Amino acid sequence: MEFPVIVDAKYCSPSEVKLTVAKKNISLHDTYQVYEGESSRELFTVWDKNMRDSAELTYEIQLEADSEPTFQVKGDFVRRNYEIIFKESSIAAEVAKKHFSLTSIITGKSNYGVLVSPNVDQAFVSAVVTIMEAIHNENKEKHSGKHSD
C-alpha cells in the first residue's frame, strides 16, 4: 500500500524540518493542528475519536487535503505502546517506550523505540509521537499523577 507524503518526500530521509503544533483551545475533542513551519499552511489535525479520558483510546488524523481521517493512532498511551495505522489496515509506525534504561534513570527522560515503515514521512511520525506525549502529560497533570511513567 502506498503511503501519502504528508510534508514532502525529502522528509522520508533524515533532514531538518520545522513544524508548529497548536492545541485547539475550544474543541469538543483533544484536538491538535500541525502547520508547516510558522506558516498558516495546515498539514494535518489529530483528535480524540471517542472524547473520553482513558488509557486505551483511538485518535484520528485527518490530512488537510482529505475529507475523512486517513490515519488512526491506537494502543496503550499510558505505557506508550501504540501504532499509527494508515487507512485502518497498514501499520505506518510502531511506538514503544523503553522502560528502565540506564539513560532514562539518570536523566529522568523517557526513551522510545519508533519503528517507521519504509516510505513513511518521518517528520509526520515525529509530530504524532510529540502530540501523543503532550496529551499523556496533560492527562497526567489533570489526574494529579494518577498514572506513572
d(CA 40, CA 112): 30
More confident: 3 or 142: 142
Mean pLDDT across the chain: 77
pTM here is 0.75
Distance CA 48, CA 6 (A): 20
Which pLDDT score, from 0 to 100, does residue 11 have? 47
In tens, the pLDDT along 41-94 reads 888 999 887 765 555 578 999 998 888 888 999 998 778 899 999 988 899 999
In the chain the domains, ranked by start, together with CATH numbers, are 17-142 (2.40.160.200)
Q: Is pLDDT above 60 for 148?
A: no
Which of these, 36, 61, 43, lies nearest to 132 by C-alpha position?
A: 61
Predicted local confidence at residue 121, as pLDDT: 85
Spell out the SS3 assignment of 84-146: EEECCCEEEEEEEEECCCHHHHHHCCCEEEEEECCCCCHHHHHHHHHHHHHHHHHHHHHCCCC
